[in-house]
Amino acid sequence: MEKIIVSPRGARRWRRGHPWIYRSDVERSDAAPGVVRAEDTHGNFLGQALWSPPSEISLRFLTSQEAPVDGDWWHDRMAEALAVRDPENLDATGYRIVHAEGDSLPSLIVDKYGEIVVVQLLSAGLEAVRGQVLAAIDTVVNPKSILLRNDASVRRHEDLPLEVEEIRGPIPEFVEVREGAVRYLVAPHTGQKTGCFLDQRENRVLMAGVAHGRALDLFTYQGLFALQMARRAESVVAVDSSAAALEVAAKNAELNGLDNLEWVEANVFDLLREYEREGRQFDTIVLDPPAFARQRSAIDRALRGYKEINLRAMRILAPKGTIFSASCSFHIGRDRFFEMLISAASDSGRRLVLQEITGQSRDHPRILTVPETGYLKAAVLRAVD
């Protein structure tokens, strides 16, 4: 096996529990991408890792054991990841099986939608062992079909092509899955991420129990929060700027026999201003915007955006109303998110109980020493006045 030498700084990083070693901490090597043996500058074995020569992240730690990382190894790790999800007791047929670094399987995403599995291989090192990885998924999960959604833009940093590939088809345009009492459609080929936003699964079910009166779902995508809330609320207005997403949302409403939803194609920023001017009020509001800060440099602007929509939502919240507010920007940590909420609450003049603090669903595990594995922050706020 090829050997890569890691600097003392890189080795320290691993010992502290972070799986990434950057290019500046490895000795140059012309080893081909794949699984390599990592050693410190004294020749001590550090572990085995995925080697990605084109990437800024050169090494992604797999194991500190010497046993070969072969087909059996991937099989066992896949079985562990699946067992942790406890699918028999999960009240959903769409869920994440592997959350990359969060499951100690760096750069690998595996999502299950009913009998279909959607996979992303997000590093050159992982791509090099794709045969073993896909075989492990096949044996452990035993899906009817497998789709590779390798069109994620991070693959550019790895010099990998962006492509969607049916490993075993046929894969229909839409697959139906269930989340609690709601059924919905996922488009594996074209939907966002691997088809939908599984990270909000538990929060959506949470809101199914909280929603009341007139509900408003902002940034609804294919309507999943709206559908959950529609079972309890009198009516739901759901907003997104994407007409294509709303088309699927409307199909989803039909699938569930729900007729108390209204789909509105609009820019949330403009619409909130309009609702405020018109004096419209809502009893339950969900705010699930896209990541406003995709880079560190965008943090300030993003915070202004988050604050604006939160402040306006607080202003149009009916007395005793409830807001669910989320941010999926990794660069905006929990503290900043809450500072933003506090500042919006204080400007709005509303008195809000912090009813619940939540984050990404449990099938998107966060590792304490790997901040990148946790990105979604959310709060349920209840107006006292």
Residues carrying an active site annotation: 328
Strand order in the sheet with 377-383: 261-265, 235-240, 214-218, 282-287, 317-327, 377-383, 352-359
Q: How far is the CB of 315 from ligand SAH (least distance, A)?
A: 18
The encoded tokens of residue 297 equal 């440099």
Q: How far is the CB of 157 from ligand SAH (least distance, A)?
A: 23
Task: Specify the residue for token string 């989340």.
Answer: 179
User: Quick check: 275 binds ligand SAH (CB under 6 A)?
Assistant: no
Considering only 26-34, 171-179, 263-271, 363-371, which stretch makes contact with ligand SAH by CB under 6 A?
Answer: 263-271
Q: What angle do CA 198, 203, 207 make, to 5 degrees?
A: 130
Considering only 35-43, 54-62, 90-98, 221-229, which stretch makes contact with ligand SAH by CB under 6 A?
Answer: 221-229
* Greatest extent of the chain over all pairs of C-alpha atoms, in Å: 71
Report the residue number, 241 or 358, with the smaller CB distance to ligand SAH: 241
Applying the rule CB under 6 A, the residues between 170 and 199 that interact with ligand SAH are 196-197
Q: How far is the CB of 290 from ligand SAH (least distance, A)?
A: 4
Site string for ligand SAH, 37-66 (x = CB under 6 A): ------------------------------
Judge whether 156 and 125 are in contact, CB under 8 Å. Answer: no
DSSP states along 8-28: HHHHHHHHTT--EEEGGGB--
Distance CA 14, CA 21 (A): 8
Report the residue number, 22 or 269, with the smaller CB distance to ligand SAH: 269
Report the residue number, 245 or 383, with the smaller CB distance to ligand SAH: 245
Report the residue number, 156 or 273, with the smaller CB distance to ligand SAH: 273
Query: Which of 209, 290, 319, 371 touches ligand SAH (CB under 6 A)?
Result: 290
Considering only 52-60, 207-215, 267-275, 366-374, which stretch makes contact with ligand SAH by CB under 6 A?
Answer: 267-275
- What burial letters (b/e) apply to 77-86, b meaning 16+ CB within 10 Å? bbeebbeebe
Query: Which of 220, 256, 327, 329 touches ligand SAH (CB under 6 A)?
Result: 220
Angle between helix axes 299-315 and 334-348 (nearest 10 degrees) is 40
Q: Indicate the pairing of strand 45-51 with strand 57-63.
A: antiparallel
Size of the site for ligand SAH (CB under 6 A): 19
User: Quick check: 242 binds ligand SAH (CB under 6 A)?
Assistant: yes
Distance CA 55, CA 184 (A): 37
Q: How far is the CB of 278 from ligand SAH (least distance, A)?
A: 18
Judge whether 100 and 108 are in contact, CB under 8 Å. Answer: yes
Element spanning 269, H or E: helix 268-278
Task: Please report, as ranges, the residues that interact with ligand SAH according to CB under 6 A.
Answer: 196-197, 200, 204, 219-221, 224-225, 239-242, 245, 267-269, 288, 290
